[in-house]
């Protein structure tokens, strides 16, 4: 793996960003007018926040945008003093010819403590004439109101499965990887709206075999395919404890899952199970939630999963 595909295929212009229609439209307008206010991007991992900030920088300032954009990661620069020093130095020199401001991109701003955010607020004001800030975060609730009110806030969303699929197929084509329809769908389904995860899964699978199949995708992403999970529920319903337990162990071994992964994947699949009614699903959900909680609290995995299996057999067994 010489280069990460997520970096190689990161869109360079805001028009290349997948999904996020409302965001892209507004960013395009900024790119056209060559100016923008302080910005904040908020949303789950791998959905295009860093991409949007860098692409906007390039669209506004051209290929040399890096000279005009200071990128800092708030999670490695938690001490605001180092941010202050860097911002000061950066703001002292003139912006690129033809532009009136410089950009400070503070990635993962939700890692800043409330105190640091308070000080940041002051910095944003001090340098407002010459610097625009772009903040990115996973949780906007962790950013103090005073900062949010200084920014145009953009919310990015998990990407739809069809957008994930489109991108994965496209990257596979450009990288010369064989990827059939089922495998592409499997990648879209295991990625849960995270495009970074989708592209990374493709690269990992392709590094083992240039012809990526559905099975390979599930094996390399530590995800059990839906039919295996349904099979577990069906065994609980029809075959009883021992066979259900064997199935569960088989899934854990084959796909390399931790106990909590298995419970979470079972939970996601439960909705699509056709042989259980609503009331049974509610009861099964409760049993899974309890097992998850106990494992997180330190309960032994094997015992807890057995107990959950026993409970589910009792609830839905015939
Ligand atoms: N909306 C998108 N359109 C096109 N590519 C995307 C999009 N979202 C993510 N990607 C791809 O995934 C990679 C990671 O995306 P990005 O760095 O923008 O994620 P992020 O939203 O900043 O996530 P984090 O919260 O983890 O920082 C990019 O390099 C790009 O290849
Ligand atoms: Mg990011």
CATH number at residue 125: 3.40.50.300
pLDDT of res. 10:
95
- Residue 133's Cβ-count burial label (10 Å; 0-12, 13-18, 19+) is buried
* pTM score of the predicted model: 0.88
- Residue 153's Cβ-count burial label (10 Å; 0-12, 13-18, 19+) is middle
* Strand boundaries in the chain, DSSP class E: 39-42, 69-73, 102-107, 131-137, 152-155, 178-179, 211-212
How many angstroms does the Cα of residue 199 sit away from the middle of ligand 1? 10
Q: Does residue 137 share a domain with residue 18?
A: yes
Compute the distance between CA of residue 238 and CA of residue 201 in angstroms, rounded to an integer: 35
Q: Does residue 130 share a domain with residue 113?
A: yes
How many angstroms does the Cα of residue 86 sit away from the middle of ligand 1? 26
Q: pLDDT tens digits for 196-245?
A: 999 999 999 999 999 999 999 999 999 999 999 999 999 999 999 999 99
Range of the domain at 126: 5-155
**22 CA to centre of own chain:** 19
CA distances from 128 to 36, 41, 121, 190 (A): 12, 19, 10, 43
83: tokens are: 């941010």
Pocket test for ligand 1, best of 51, 55, 188 (most atoms within 8 A of CB): 51
pLDDT of res. 9:
95
Count of structural domains, the chain: 3
Compute the distance between CA of residue 18 and CA of residue 184 in angstroms, rounded to an integer: 17
Q: Does residue 178 share a domain with residue 40?
A: no
| Average pLDDT of the chain to the nearest whole number | 93
Final residue belonging to a domain, choices 187, 202, 220: 220
pLDDT of res. 285:
98
Compute the distance between CA of residue 55 and CA of residue 16 in angstroms, rounded to an integer: 9
pLDDT of res. 83:
77
Nearest atom (ligand 1) to Cα of 9: 31
Please tell me the residue having the least CA distance from ligand 1 atom 25: 45
What is the SS3 assignment for 43?
A: coil
pLDDT of res. 186:
96
pLDDT of res. 78:
63
69 Cβ contact list (under 8 Å, min separation 6): 54, 57, 61, 102, 103, 104, 105
Compute the distance between CA of residue 47 and CA of residue 104 in angstroms, rounded to an integer: 21
How many angstroms does the Cα of residue 53 sit away from the middle of ligand 1? 10
Task: Give the β-pairing of 39-42 and 152-155.
Answer: parallel
Q: Does residue 115 share a domain with residue 55?
A: yes
pLDDT of res. 263:
98
CB under 6 Å to ligand 1: residues?
Answer: 6-7, 9-11, 17-20, 45-51, 136, 138, 195-196, 199
Q: Does residue 238 share a domain with residue 100?
A: no
Q: Does residue 137 share a domain with residue 19?
A: yes
Q: Does residue 185 share a domain with residue 79?
A: no
pLDDT of res. 77:
65
Compute the distance between CA of residue 70 and CA of residue 199 in angstroms, rounded to an integer: 27
pLDDT of res. 64:
87
pLDDT of res. 249:
97
* pLDDT < 70 regions, the chain: 1, 77-79
Ligand nearest to the CA of 195: 1
**Whose structure tokens read 């404890």?**
241
Tally Cβ neighbours within 10 Å of residue 217: 26
């Amino acid at each position: 793996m010489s280069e990460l595909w997520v970096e190689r295929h990161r869109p360079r212009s805001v028009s290349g960003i997948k999904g996020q229609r409302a965001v892209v439209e507004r960013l395009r307008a900024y790119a056209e007018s060559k100016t923008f206010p302080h910005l904040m991007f908020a949303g789950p991992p791998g959905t295009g926040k860093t991409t949007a900030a860098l692409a906007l920088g390039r669209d506004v300032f051209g290929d040399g945008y890096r000279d005009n954009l200071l990128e800092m990661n708030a999670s490695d620069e938690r001490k605001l003093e180092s941010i202050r020093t860097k911002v000061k130095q950066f703001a002292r020199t003139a912006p690129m010819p033809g532009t009136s401001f410089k950009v400070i991109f503070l990635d993962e701003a939700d890692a800043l403590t409330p105190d640091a955010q308070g000080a940041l607020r002051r910095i944003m004001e001090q340098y407002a004439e010459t610097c625009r800030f772009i903040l990115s975060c996973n949780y906007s609730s962790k950013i103090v109101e005073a900062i949010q009110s200084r920014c145009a806030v953009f919310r990015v969303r998990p990407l739809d499965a069809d957008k994930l699929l489109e991108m994965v197929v496209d990257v596979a084509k450009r990288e010369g990887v064989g990827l059939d329809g089922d495998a592409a769908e499997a990648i879209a389904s295991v990625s849960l709206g995270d495009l970074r995860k989708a592209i990374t899964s493709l690269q990992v699978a392709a590094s083992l075999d240039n012809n990526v199949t559905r099975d390979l995708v599930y094996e390399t992403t530590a995800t059990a395919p839906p039919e295996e999970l349904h099979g577990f529920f069906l065994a609980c319903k029809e075959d009883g404890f021992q066979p259900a337990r064997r199935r569960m162990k088989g899934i854990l071994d084959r796909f390399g899952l931790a106990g909590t992964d298995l419970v979470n994947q079972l939970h996601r699949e439960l909705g699509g199970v056709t042989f259980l009614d609503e009331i049974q699903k509610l009861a099964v959900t409760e049993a899974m939630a309890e097992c998850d909680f106990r494992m997180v609290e330190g309960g032994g995995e094997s015992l807890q999963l057995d107990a959950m299996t026993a409970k589910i057999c009792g609830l839905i067994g015939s």
